[in-house]
Amino acid sequence: MNLQPERALVAQACRVAAARGLVDGILGHLSLRVDDDRLLIRCRSDSDTGVAFTRPEDIRLIDFHGSPGASGELDGYRLPNELPIHLETMRAAPQQRQAVAHLHPPDVVAADLAGITIRPIYGAYDIPGAWLARAGVPVYQRAVLIRTPELAKDMVAAMGSAPVVICRGHGITSAAGTVQQAVLQAISLNELARMSLRVHWTGATPAEIDDADWNDLPDLGSAFNVQSAWRHEVARLNEGQS
């Protein structure tokens, strides 16, 4: 199986997440399921320089037991401590959750610690973000390193059917059908948190948008919400590296 395009995509998504400030240093990891039994995931090596500098070769193939998915896949590489986050999130909804992003966006963490519930306080400013928050963003209450299947299952239970979950004092987990969508959801969530914090800093309490407004906040389709948005993220990333 030729997985070079998939490795390149996951590595690119890691760099996009870092460029957006969703991770810092060496913390955070992304994964992509490639078949019923295996997934690609960002791993670490002794030469690792951080998520912002992820290379395709840092994306390794493993199975759902955490073993190499092919000969030599983990030679010189270590699995992330929080591998169970990816395995249990995918297992909970195999068809819908093909990609998982575990990130540490500071604005989301800060807003949650400040007691700010992430709600749809704006509309056309970011329509996918508004819809993401409409049903509420669940919170996993523990600030632990999620390195066991039991803890990961607890996090997934808190997540329910939502596409994202906030891990209190820790970060977030975002799951979607594609790695692009998983990262874009995280970007939208962090922007909602950032805007909520800004409003609170003024002394005001942000209110949700009016119920009547939802009828005029249409789904503009994946060609715009995902494909065009991702082209922008890649262009933005490349511009920053030029």
Per-residue pLDDT 10s for the chain (242 aa) are 679 999 999 999 999 999 999 999 999 999 999 999 999 999 999 999 999 999 999 999 999 999 999 999 999 999 999 999 999 999 999 889 999 999 999 999 999 999 999 999 999 999 999 999 998 999 999 999 999 999 999 999 999 999 999 999 999 999 999 999 999 999 999 999 999 999 999 999 889 999 999 999 988 888 887 899 999 999 999 886 65
Return the half-sphere exposure (C-beta side, CA atoms, 13 A cut-off) of residue 78: 9
Crossing angle of helices 229-241 and 4-19, rounded to 10°: 70
pLDDT at residue 206, as a whole number: 85
The answer to whether 168 and 138 are in contact (CB under 8 A) is no
Other beta carbons less than 10 A from residue 114's beta carbon:
11
Catalytic residues: 82
pLDDT at residue 219, as a whole number: 87
Q: Is the pTM of this model over 0.85?
A: yes
> Which domains does the chain possess?
3-225 (3.40.225.10)
pLDDT at residue 242, as a whole number: 54
pLDDT at residue 221, as a whole number: 80
